[in-house]
Amino acid sequence: MSAPDWRERKKAQTRMRLQEQALRLFAEHGYEATTVEQIAVAAGVSHMTFFRYFPTKEDVVLGDEYDPMLAEAIRARPRTEHPIARIHAAVRQGLVAIYAADREALLGRVQLILRTPALRARLWENQFATRELFEQALAKGAPSMRVRVLAAVCLAALTTALEQWAASGGARELPELIDEAFRVLRRDLTDRS
């Protein structure tokens, strides 16, 4: 049967090579102007191999590897907290970890995504899954209207923070922006204009 160890490693290498070359070419010539064929050649494989590793061209940039970690982080927070505070803390903690390890790469990817219409569109689509994750964190079972709105609102705050971070070119710090966005939810939502 099954998986000899070095073969898995080779696959992982091929995958990483494809992703590296893709991101390099996207940075050099832009997303639309880069063809899958070019990425495959740069990584030394055929274009079919590319699609065996990434179902679409968009997935080489997006790939939602963060959701499981977010889910875990939310579950870890005490259930006595206000639901929005729970999500805030979990998101902060999760993103700060990635941020500390890989700040520049994250910034580059977020910027590329937000400046490319096709990637932006797919990003919102992926957030569908993240929102369901928030909903389940906020309440078990079929979510009520209240839970759905709260989950959507948290996602809106998170997204806004990411956008501001990308727009500032990394001048501001992401954790601060996240705190600022969630502070608006808690404080300013019921105030006057």
Q: Which residues of the shown chain bind DNA in the complex (CB under 7 A)? A: 1-2, 4, 6-7, 10-11, 14, 34-37, 40, 44-49, 51-53, 55-58
> Looking at beta carbons only, is 83 or 94 nearer to its own copies?
83
**Smallest distance from the beta carbon of 180 to its own copies, in angstroms?**
5
**Residue 152's binding partner out of DNA, its own copies, none, with CB under 5 to 8 Å set by partner kind:** its own copies
**Smallest distance from the beta carbon of 42 to DNA, in angstroms?**
12
**Residue 48's binding partner out of its own copies, DNA, none, with CB under 5 to 8 Å set by partner kind:** DNA
Radius of gyration of the chain (CA): 19
Interface with its own copies by CB under 8 A: which residues? 79-84, 117, 120-125, 127-128, 145-146, 148-150, 152-153, 155-157, 159-160, 163-164, 177, 180-181, 184-186, 188-193
Sign of the Cα pseudo-torsion (12, 15, 21, 24, in order): negative
* CA dist list (Å): 170 to 21, 43, 88, 98: 23, 30, 21, 15
- The type of residue at 189 is L
Task: Give the whole-angstrom CA distance, residue 99 versus residue 64.
Answer: 15
**Residues 47/107, Cβ–Cβ less than 8 Å:** no
